[in-house]
Structure 1
Amino acid sequence: MANPEGVPAPEEQRLGPVLRRHDQVQTGTTDQRLLDWQGPSEWLHTDPWRVMRIQAEFVEGFGALTELGPAISVFGSARTAPDSEEYDAGVRIGKALVEAGFAVITGGGPGAMEAANKGAIEAGGVSVGLGIELPFEQGLNAYVNLGVDFRYFFVRKTCFVKYARGFVVLPGGLGTLDELFEALTLVQTGKVTRFPIVLFGTAYWSGLIDWLRDTLIAGGKASVHDLDLFHLTDDVAEAVALVTKEAGLGPDRT
C-alpha cells in the first residue's frame, strides 16, 4: 500500500513473519545476533526464549519416557523418614507395582519418593525420577535408573500424568496435594479417562475426605459422585490391585 502524498516511507524491517517499523526496527540480522559471540545476552531472559526452553523440556521429557511402557506415578512427602512405616510402605508399593507389570514414576526426591524408587529397583523394575529445579532440593535419589530434571513444574506435571496409568498417593505435603487435586480435576472433567487414584494411609487422608464430604460437597461446590474418583486403603496389595484393575493391566498381561 502506497504512503499518503508527502508522508515519507517508514523504515521497515521483516524478520520472518514479523514486521517492524519506526522505533521497533532492530539493528543487525538474526544470523548476526546468533553468530556474534560479543552480542548482548538479554535475549536469554525474554519470553520468546522461555517458550523455546519450555518446548525443549517437553521434547526431552517425552523423548525419555515415550518407550517406558505401563507405569504408575507414586507421590508422597520428601520428609518421610527412612525408618518410618510410611517409608516401608513406599518400598513395598514400589516392589508390588513392578511385580504387577508397571514401571514406577516418582518426583525423584528423598522420603516417600525414594522409598518407591527403592522398591522398584529391588524388584528389578524401571525406576523413574522426574526431578524439579528447586533451591533446596539435592538432585535425584540413588534409586532412580531413568531420570529427567525439569525447570518448570507444569512440564513435569504433564509427564507425571501422560506416562502413568494411575496414581498412588502416600502421605505428603503441599506438592503431593497439588498433584492429587490436579489428577482429580483431570478425571472429573474428562481430560483423562481410566485413571485410578489410590490414597494410601487411612489415618492421614481421612480428615481431608471428611472435609471434602462435609464442607465442599455439603456446600454444593462438588458432587457426591466426586468421592468415587479415588480409593482409600491401608493395604499394599489392595492399593496395587485397585490401580492394576482400573488401569487395565494385570500380572497375566501378554
Structure 2
Amino acid sequence: MVNAERPRLGSSFDDDREIETLEEFDQVVTRRGSLAGHRVQSVDLTGRTFALLSADTTGAMFLGCAMEPDAAAKVRTDGALVFPPIPDLPFDPYRGLLYSPDELFDGLDDGGYEVTCDALTYEWFQETKADRDIYASMLRALHDDAVSDALDELLNGVPVVGVMGGHAMGRGTEAYAGAARLGRALARTGLTVATGGGPGAMEAANLGAYAAPHPDPMLDEALELLAKAPSFTPSVTDWAAAAFEVRSRWPRGGDSIGIPTWFYGHEPPNPFAGHIAKYFANATREDGLLARCTAGVVFLPGAAGTVQEIFDNATPNYYESRGEPTPMVLVDRAHWTEKLPAWPLLRALADSRSMDARITLVDSVDEVPQALARLTASGQSA
C-alpha cells in the first residue's frame, strides 16, 4: 500500500485541487466543506461515506477511489466523474504518489523478488505488450502520466542534480564506492540527488544520498555489507535483501529520487531512492529525468545508455530550449576521451555557445562538487 505519511520534498497541497491521501481528503472536507472541482486520486473512501453524502461534489473527479455504493451513486448524481478501481492489476494506474521501495518490493521476504509488485508489473507489461491490447496501452499511459504529475509535485522548487552512469558497476568495487561518496557529498550540499533508479552507478549515488545524514563510517560499513551480493544477477532477491538490511540497520536515511523503467525489466529498481518514479515508457522516463535535473547533471563512466543521456541533455542546452543551460560534469577523462570519446564532440557542440561555460571534464568523483559549484557560479555571473 502507498504510505501516505512519506515526506514530501516540494510544496504542500494547500492551493492544490488534487487530493492524494486520506489526510488531505479530511482536511479539505473539514476546512472547506466542499469537494467541488477537486480531483481525488486513488484514496480508499469506503470509511468516508458520511462525508461524501454531506459534501458538495459538483464537478469533482474520483480516480480509482474505492467507495460504498450509495456514496458512489450520490457523487454521480452531483455530476462528479467516477473512474472506479480496476481489479486484478498489479499496479494502480491512478496513483497519486510516487512509489516507495517498500511498495515495489512488497513480498520480498516471504516469496522472493518474483512475487513483488515490481516483478508482477513487469510480467503484466510483457504479456500485454505482446498482445498489443489498446486497453492495456491506455492503462500504461494513465499510469505514466500520474507518475509524472506526482514527480512534478514532489520536486516543486527543489534543486535537483542528476547522477548518470551504467548499471554494470558492481558493489564492492572502488568505482561503486566513489559513486556513493559522490551522492553523499552532493546531498550534503543541499541538493536532491536523482538517478535512473536502477542498479550499479545509479544505486551507488542513491545509497550515498541515503547515507548523508549518518556519520561517515556508516557508508563504509554499508558498502562492506552490500559487497556480499555484488550484482542483481543471478539473484535479484539476494541483491535487494542486502539493500533492505542496510536500510534496516541504519534507518531514517536521506531522501533521493530514482526514475527507473519497466522497459528494461531485467534491471530492478534500487531500494535506496526514497521516492521512485517508475515508468512503462522509457522515452518518457529518459526525458523526464534529465528535464528535472535543474541544478546540473553528472555523468559517470557508462556505455550506450549514458552516452545517449549526455547528448539528450546537451541538445536542449545547445538550443537553450529549457532556458539557461544546466551544468554538465563528465567524470573520468580517459573514459570520455579515449574509450568512448563523447567529450570531444560535446566540446565541439559547445564551442561559441552559452553552454560552453557550463560543461567540464574531471578525473575523479572527488572533484565533482567543486566543479559543479564553479559551473553554477559561471552561469549566475553570465
Q: Which amino acid aligns with 1:73?
A: G
Matches within 5 A, 1:136-151: 136-151=265-280
Whose RCO is larger (CA < 8 A, sep 6+)?
1
Contact kept? 1:129, 1:144, Cα under 8 Å: yes
Give the AA of the match of 1:232: L
Structure 2 SS opposite 1:168: strand
Structure 1 SS opposite 2:168? coil
The answer to whether the aligner puts 1:235 opposite 2:364 as a matched pair is yes
TM-score (norm 1): 0.69
Amino acid corresponding to residue 198 of structure 1 in structure 2: V
Structure 1 equivalent of residue 182 of structure 2: 93
Amino acid at match of 1:176: T
| Residues 7-58 of structure 1: per-residue CA shift (max 9 Å, x gap) | xxxxxxxxxxxxxxxxxxxxxxxxxxx89x9xxx955156x77654553342
Over residues 53-94 of structure 1, what are the superposed CA-to-partner deviations in whole Å (9 max), with x where a residue is unaligned? 553342233234336x21210000100122222212201110
Given residue 74 of structure 1, which amino acid in structure 2 is its aligned partner? Answer: V
- C-alpha change, 1:111 and 1:51, in structure 2 (3 Å) is closer
Letter in 2 for 1:63: E
Letter in 2 for 1:44: Y
Q: Distance in 2 between matches of 1:142 and 1:158?
A: 22
Question: Which structure 2 residue ranges, 5 or more long, are not aligned?
Answer: 1-82, 87-131, 214-253, 378-382
Q: State the superposition RMSD in angstroms.
A: 3.1
Structure-to-structure mapping, 1:1-254, within 5 angstroms: 43-45=134-136, 52-66=142-156, 69-124=158-213, 125-164=254-293, 165-192=295-322, 193-207=324-338, 208-209=341-342, 212=345, 217=348, 222=349, 224-225=351-352, 228=356, 230-247=359-376
TM-score, reference length from structure 2: 0.47
Work out the number of aligned pairs and report it. 204
Amino acid corresponding to residue 88 of structure 1 in structure 2: A
One-letter amino acid of the counterpart of residue 331, structure 2? F
CA distance in 2, matches of 1:234, 1:119: 20
> Runs of 5+ in structure 1 lacking a partner?
1-33, 249-254
Cα distance change on mapping 1:79 and 1:194 into 2, 3 Å: same
1:147 maps to a residue whose letter is I
Q: Give the structure with the larger strand fraction.
A: 1
Shift of 1:211: 5.3
Give, in whole Å, the separation in 1 of the partners of 2:261 and 2:141.
18
State whether residues 195 and 257 of structure 2, in contact with CA within 8 Å, keep that contact through their aligned partners in structure 1.
yes
**By how many angstroms is 1:152 displaced?**
1.4
Percent identical among aligned pairs is 27
SS in 2 for 1:72: strand
Q: CA deviation at 1:110?
A: 0.8
